């Protein structure tokens, strides 16, 4: 049996994770287990130190506040899922920090972009089949939905890859900012650009546009503004092209239908649902201002603040606003802990970017600012497909910065 105590094992596991992450959360978790196996096989004295990480304190505070809120307000009832997610977030932070501290190869980025591009291609195929071959799409969906393995891939008017279209749009926004940051950095360094970045960029931005995720469009536009503010000359063409592509979707995209007894197919109905959720979350917070109702209990309490069923669902567990949901479930203390965590990410990435002007810090800075704005209409940071790549990218950026400091 070959030995696994080498950087090559970790690098292969990281590349495997990067490839699978945009396509399957189960596959990504399996890859994380392989990364952990590689780390456990190494001697302790070969592991890098992360004691100086700027994210440790805010991350621990965020998790401890969640545990206290769940214990005091709910006796851990209905809160085990969110607390498990928080603890996995913490574990992934340490795993990726250690792994990228040892195997810091940029092959990971290439495999990540391959995974993102395949996901984008699947999303475009789904939309194209629905749009141009409706009869074939109907027969295809009939067969595909009966298969457990392929049931995530079906033709529809929103590109979605193998996940929910909202999460898909957010992932495409993240990967789109990654491609633009890569091209921007290469131009600054005077290096020749590779044709694959153009192909991947076209696939990803097209999939983002056809995902129909308005929150992702807004977040991506904000990320574009961050890139433009840092060095507009290096990204001027992509800036205007991406902006035109996004703006056009507000006028040209189909009305995405939702079924709720009657048809809810216009933006006004979507806004009314969001508004009702936001009002309920705010009232929930006012009734439980200190520690909230407890993580994961928004859906339990929602019926007390709004008549049910609502919007075709028996209850709603998501306030479609990360900050209002945090106020409702974790109170003002939890909201401050979340703000400290996100603010620390922004501050550290900007600090590293000012010092190094590195690709990873540019990508993460544009993405985290994008995610903060995106979270005004979604609870993206609470979705594993979003927080996992976010924490991995942060750990990679910080580990790379730590290695560069040691070299100097």
Token pair in block for residue 402:
């730590």
Pair 356, 401: CB distance under 8 Å: yes
CB atoms within 10 A of CB 156: 17
Residue 345, pLDDT score: 97
Counting the structural domains of the chain, the total is 1
pLDDT beneath 70, residues of the chain? 1-6, 43-50, 78-80, 147-149, 249-268, 408
Angle, alpha carbons 93-99-33 (nearest 5°): 75
CB-based contacts of 205, cutoff 8 Å, min separation 6:
172, 176, 241, 242, 245
- Residue 347 in domain: yes
Q: Which one-letter DSSP state was computed for residue 213?
A: -
Residue 307, pLDDT score: 82
State how far the Cα of 121 lies from the Cα of 126, in Å rounded to an integer: 9
Give which of 274, 381, 373 is closest to 338, Cα–Cα. 381
- Residue 329 in domain: yes
Residue 33, pLDDT score: 95
CB-based contacts of 198, cutoff 8 Å, min separation 6:
none
Strands (E), 68-209: none
Residue 257, pLDDT score: 39
Q: Encode pLDDT of 127-156 as tens digits.
A: 999 989 988 888 888 877 776 667 788 898
CB atoms within 10 A of CB 184: 24
- Residue 89 in domain: yes
Domain with 101 in it:
7-263+311-407
Token pair in block for residue 92:
């992934």
Helix (H, G, I), strand (E, B) or coil at 55: coil
- Residue 293 in domain: no
- Residue 259 in domain: yes
State how far the Cα of 37 lies from the Cα of 351, in Å rounded to an integer: 33
- Residue 16 in domain: yes
- Residue 345 in domain: yes
Q: Which helix (H) or strand (E) holds 264?
A: strand 262-264
Pair 317, 360: CB distance under 8 Å: no
- Residue 281 in domain: no
């Amino acid at each position: 049996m070959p030995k696994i105590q080498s950087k090559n094992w970790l690098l292969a596991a990281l590349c495997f994770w990067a490839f699978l992450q945009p396509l399957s959360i189960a596959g990504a978790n399996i890859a994380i287990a392989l990364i952990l196996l590689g780390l456990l096989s190494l001697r302790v004295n070969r592991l890098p130190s992360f004691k100086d990480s700027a994210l440790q304190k805010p991350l621990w505070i965020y998790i401890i506040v969640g545990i206290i809120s769940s214990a005091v307000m709910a006796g851990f009832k209905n809160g085990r899922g969110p607390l498990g997610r928080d603890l996995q977030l913490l574990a992934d932070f340490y795993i990726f920090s250690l792994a990228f501290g040892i195997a810091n190869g940029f092959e990971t980025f290439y495999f990540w972009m391959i995974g993102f591009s395949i996901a984008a291609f699947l999303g475009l195929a789904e939309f194209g089949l629905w749009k141009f071959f409706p009869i074939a799409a109907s027969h295809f969906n009939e067969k595909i939905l009966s298969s457990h393995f392929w049931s995530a891939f079906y033709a529809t008017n929103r590109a979605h890859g193998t996940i929910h279209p909202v999460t898909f749009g957010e992932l495409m926004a993240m990967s789109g900012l990654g491609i633009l940051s890569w091209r921007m950095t290469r131009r600054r360094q005077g290096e020749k650009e590779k044709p694959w970045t153009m192909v991947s960029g076209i696939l990803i931005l097209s999939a983002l546009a056809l995902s129909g995720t308005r929150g992702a469009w807004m977040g991506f536009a904000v990320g574009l503004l961050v890139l433009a503010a840092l060095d507009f000359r290096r990204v001027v063409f992509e800036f205007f092209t991406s902006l035109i592509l996004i703006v056009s979707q507000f006028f040209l995209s189909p009305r995405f239908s939702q079924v709720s007894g009657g048809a809810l197919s216009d933006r006004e109905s979507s806004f009314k649902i969001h508004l009702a959720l936001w009002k309920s979350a705010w009232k929930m917070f006012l009734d439980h201002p200190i520690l909230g109702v407890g993580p994961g209990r928004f859906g339990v309490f929602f019926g007390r603040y709004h008549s049910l069923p609502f919007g075709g669902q028996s209850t709603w567990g998501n306030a479609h606003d990360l900050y209002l949901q945090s106020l409702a479930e974790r109170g003002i203390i939890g909201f401050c802990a979340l703000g400290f965590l996100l603010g620390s990410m922004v501050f550290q990435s900007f600090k590293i970017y000012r010092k190094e002007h590195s690709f990873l810090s540019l990508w993460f800075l544009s993405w985290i600012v994008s995610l903060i704005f995106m979270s005004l209409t979604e609870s993206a940071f609470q979705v594993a497909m979003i927080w996992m790549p976010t924490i991995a990218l942060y750990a990679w950026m910080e580990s790379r910065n730590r290695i560069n400091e040691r070299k100097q």
